[in-house]
Amino acid sequence: MDRMKIIKRRLSMSLRSARPVDDSLSELAEQMALDETPGARENGETCACGYGRGPISNFAGGIVHENVKMGSDGESDQASGTSSDEVQSPVRVRMRNNHHRRISNEDINKRLSLPADIRLPEGYLEKFAMNSPPFDKPMSRRLRRASLSEIGFGKLETYIKLDKLGEGTYATVFKGRSKLTDNLVALKEIRLEHEEGAPCTAIREVSLLKDLKHANIVTLHDIIHTDKCLTLVFEYLEKDLKQYMDDCGNIMSVNNVKIFLYQLLRGLAYCHRRKVLHRDLKPQNLLISEKGELKLADFGLARAKSVPTKTYSNEVVTLWYRPPDVLLGSTEYSTPIDMWGVGCIFYEMITGRPLFPGSTVEDELHLIFRVLGTPTEKTWPGMPTSEEFKTYNFPLYRAEPLVNHAPRIDSDGHDLLSKLLQFDAKKRVSAEDALKHSYFRSLGEQVQTLPDTASIFSVKGIQLQKDPGKRSSVHPESSKSSHDQKE
**Which residues are catalytically annotated?**
280
List the one residue out of 107, 59, 424 whose CA is nearest residue 208: 59
Give the list of residues 6+ apart from residue 371 with CB closer than 8 angstroms, or none. Answer: 355, 356, 399, 400, 402, 405
The angle formed by the CA atoms of residues 171, 244 and 358, to the nearest 5 degrees, is 75
Q: Is 179 annotated as a binding residue?
A: no
DSSP string covering 148-217: HHHHTTT-GGGEEEEEEEEE-SSEEEEEEEETTT--EEEEEEEES-SSSSHHHHHHHHHHHHTTB--TTB
The residues with which 70 forms a beta bridge, in sequence order, are 76
Pairing of strands 229-235, 63-65: unpaired
Q: What's the CA gap between 456 and 39, in Å, rounded?
A: 36
Strand-by-strand arrangement of the 286-288 sheet: 239-240, 286-288, 294-296
Find out whether 375 and 338 touch, Cβ atoms under 8 Å: no
List the one residue out of 360, 329, 322, 327 whose CA is nearest residue 343: 322
Give the list of residues 6+ apart from residue 54 with CB closer than 8 angstroms, or none. Answer: 188, 202, 205, 220, 232, 234, 297, 298, 299, 300
Q: Is the dihedral of CA 113, 116, 121, 124 positive or negative?
A: positive
Find out whether 208 and 302 touch, Cβ atoms under 8 Å: yes
- Residue set of the binding site for ATP: 188
- Residue set of the binding site: 188
